[in-house]
């Protein structure tokens, strides 16, 4: 049963922190592109169904496991099933997934800091011949700038985590999340008022079911899980910090709702401007570092400073609150199971991640370490592949099986209803069915299909 430890001070702070984890690079550079590519409105409807029915089911189960046990990932599962300590390996898997993701995430987030600086200093608008692909290639394959940016980003993340749950993570999230909302709204207004913006809205929202392929369905499901930060034990750690009186279902709805709203707004901020400027849609680093600078450049010198700066700040803020949750998930997981000091553990983990990060950054295409290859893939490619691959799905599947088939139903209901004080009529009607059958089946299908498709 949960022991007392310092947690979030209010429901609002807790929701901001968890939404901060969920809202990350994925919302901005992947979600809108996936939507457009796989059928606009058709993909959006499916995404909403997946994120609320499957993603939120997983989110809620992680929050319950965390709050009920009072522990972060590695200890949580085993402490709820003391006779079967091997369940701790589910938490270990989650922490390994966090390490893989965060080391790559920090490198890319560092790039966004560099681009923020280049936007506000005006350097980005004076790139030779407007050849942004070459500019990005030269930057990402150099040594000093990417490594320096990685270190700055890692230190920022660490400083917040060292501040503690209330004065670090909660406080930072309560400031950064409203900033993020203002930035995305500002960009939406600019994008929507450009001549020709409607083509972008058509791309994003016009439902075309013929584009919704099987591959698209899998990509949409994967995005729904990644976007809610589930399958890595991060939400278990945050669950253990949730106030006891919080209505977990309501918090999970808020987190999922905020995450989805920002993803849709990011699409509205990006694609109308991309189409208005005659560029073709893309996703990932190609969109952010090659296509969007062309769009910002077309807005004139002040426009490119203001809107380019706002966009890269938006990315950096979204990345920072996600990175904070990943670092906290790792540090809390390790410090609890190894009985080490939380802050010292966070420092050691960050140093380790920086070393990994430097190896990853320098092995990007054309970089000094890009010659080191295994099976024709660089270190960067390997980390990118592994972090996006099966680990989170396996961890999510084991979590939902643990929750649905191994935890006592009464205990779950007790936690969700705050010992009977909150009504939970939905629990028996559909939630338990989703937990036991629908979510595991969806995860098995996506895992099998993913492995099959390799
Ligand atoms: N949800 C974040 C995003 O959309 C990524 C993330 C995954 C953050 C797992 C924390 C844990 O970018």
Please report whether residue 6 resides in a domain: no
- Look at the chain and report how many structural domains it folds into: 1
Q: Which residues contact 164 (CB under 8 A, 6 or more apart)?
A: 6
Answer whether 256 contacts ligand 1 (Cβ < 6 A).
Answer: no
pLDDT tens for 385-432 read: 777 668 899 999 999 999 999 999 999 999 999 999 999 988 888 999
Answer whether 27 contacts ligand 1 (Cβ < 6 A).
Answer: yes
| Å from CA of 71 to ligand 1 middle | 20
CA distance 34 to 166: 35
Answer whether 24 contacts ligand 1 (Cβ < 6 A).
Answer: yes
Answer whether 315 contacts ligand 1 (Cβ < 6 A).
Answer: no
pLDDT tens for 103-130 read: 999 999 999 999 999 999 999 998 988 8
- Residue 309 structure tokens: 């700066």
| Å from CA of 263 to ligand 1 middle | 12
pLDDT tens for 198-215 read: 999 999 999 999 999 999
Quote the domain boundaries for residue 299: 11-452
Answer whether 354 contacts ligand 1 (Cβ < 6 A).
Answer: no
pLDDT of residue 1: 44
Answer whether 160 contacts ligand 1 (Cβ < 6 A).
Answer: no
Please report whether residue 4 resides in a domain: no
Please report whether residue 3 resides in a domain: no
| Å from CA of 19 to ligand 1 middle | 10
Please report whether residue 41 resides in a domain: yes
- Residue 228 structure tokens: 């809610």
- Specify the pTM: 0.96
CA distance 390 to 377: 18
Does position 2 have pLDDT exceeding 50, yes or no?
no
CA distance 167 to 380: 34
Does position 3 have pLDDT exceeding 60, yes or no?
no
Better-predicted residue by pLDDT, 13 or 282: 13
pLDDT class of 372 with cuts at 50, 70, 90? very high
Please report whether residue 303 resides in a domain: yes
DSSP-assigned letter for residue 305: I
Answer whether 226 contacts ligand 1 (Cβ < 6 A).
Answer: yes
Ligand 1 atom showing the smallest separation from residue 22 Cα: 1
Please report whether residue 1 resides in a domain: no
- Supply the residue whose CA is at minimum distance from atom 9 of ligand 1: 229
In the three-class reduction of DSSP (H, G, I as helix; E, B as strand; rest coil), residue 307 is classed as: helix
Please report whether residue 402 resides in a domain: yes
Lowest mean pLDDT among 20-24, 327-331, 449-453: 449-453
Please report whether residue 375 resides in a domain: yes
Q: Residue 265's domain is classified under what CATH number?
A: 1.10.4160
């Amino acid at each position: 049963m949960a022991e007392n430890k310092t947690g979030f001070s209010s429901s609002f702070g807790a929701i901001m922190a968890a939404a901060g984890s969920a809202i990350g690079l994925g919302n901005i550079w992947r979600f809108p592109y996936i939507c457009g590519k796989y059928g606009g409105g058709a993909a959006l409807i499916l995404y909403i169904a997946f994120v609320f029915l499957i993603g939120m089911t997983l989110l809620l189960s992680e929050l319950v496991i965390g709050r009920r046990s009072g522990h972060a990932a590695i200890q949580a599962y085993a402490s709820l099933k003391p006779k079967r300590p091997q369940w701790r390996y589910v938490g270990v898997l989650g922490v390994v997934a966090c390490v893989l993701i965060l080391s790559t995430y920090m490198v890319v987030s560092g790039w966004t800091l560099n681009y923020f600086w280049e936007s506000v200093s005006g350097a980005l608008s004076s790139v030779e011949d407007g050849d942004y692909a070459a500019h990005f290639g030269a930057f990402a394959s150099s040594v000093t700038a990417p490594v320096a940016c990685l270190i700055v980003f890692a230190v920022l993340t660490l400083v917040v985590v060292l501040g503690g749950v209330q004065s670090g993570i909660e406080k930072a999230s309560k400031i950064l999340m409203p900033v993020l909302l203002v930035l995305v709204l500002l960009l939406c207004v600019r994008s929507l008022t450009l001549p020709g913006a409607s083509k972008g809205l058509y791309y994003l929202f016009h439902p075309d079911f013929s584009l919704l392929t099987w591959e698209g369905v899998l990509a949409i499901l994967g995005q729904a899980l990644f976007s809610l930060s589930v399958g890595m034990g991060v939400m278990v750690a945050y669950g253990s910090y949730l106030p006891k009186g919080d209505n977990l279902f309501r918090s999970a709805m808020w987190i999922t709702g905020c995450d989805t709203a920002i993803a849709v707004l990011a699409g509205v901020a990006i694609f109308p401007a991309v189409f208005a400027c005659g560029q073709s849609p893309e996703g990932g680093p190609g969109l952010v570092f090659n296509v969007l600078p062309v769009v910002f450049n077309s807005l004139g010198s002040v426009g490119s400073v203001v809107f380019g700066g706002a966009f890269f700040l938006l990315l950096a803020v979204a990345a920072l609150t996600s990175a904070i949750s990943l670092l906290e998930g790792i540090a809390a997981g390790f410090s609890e199971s190894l009985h080490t000091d939380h802050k010292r553990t966070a420092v050691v983990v960050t140093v380790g991640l920086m070393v990994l990060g430097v190896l990853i950054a320098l092995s990007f295409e054309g970089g000094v370490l890009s010659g080191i290859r295994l099976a024709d893939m660089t270190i960067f490619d390997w980390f990118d592949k592994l972090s996006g691959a099966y680990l989170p799905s396996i961890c999510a599947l084991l979590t939902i099986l643990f929750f649905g088939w191994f935890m006592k139903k009464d205990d779950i209901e007790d936690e969700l209803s705050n010992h009977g004080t909150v009504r939970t009529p939905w629990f028996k009607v559909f939630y338990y069915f989703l937990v036991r059958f629908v979510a595991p089946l969806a995860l098995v299908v996506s895992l099998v299909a993913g492995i099959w498709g390799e």
